[in-house]
Amino acid sequence: MKNKLALLALSVQKINRQHVQLVFVLVALAMLVLGTGAPEAGGGVGR
C-alpha cells in the first residue's frame, strides 16, 4: 500500500501545466462538437 501511494505521488508530480491545458482544450473541443449536433431549444409546453 505504501508503494502504491508513493507511485501515485510520483505520477501526480509529472503532471505539468501543458497537460492540464491539453485536457481543457480536448474537453472544450468535444463540447463544441457535441453542441453543434444538438437540436435547438423548441417552444414551450403545448406546442
pLDDT at residue 22 in the model: 93
Question: CA-CA distance, 18 to 40, in Å (whole number)?
Answer: 35
The pLDDT tens digits of the residues spanning 1-47 come to: 778 888 888 887 887 888 889 999 999 999 888 887 666 666 656 55
Smallest CA-to-CA distance from 5 within 18, 19, 13 is with: 13
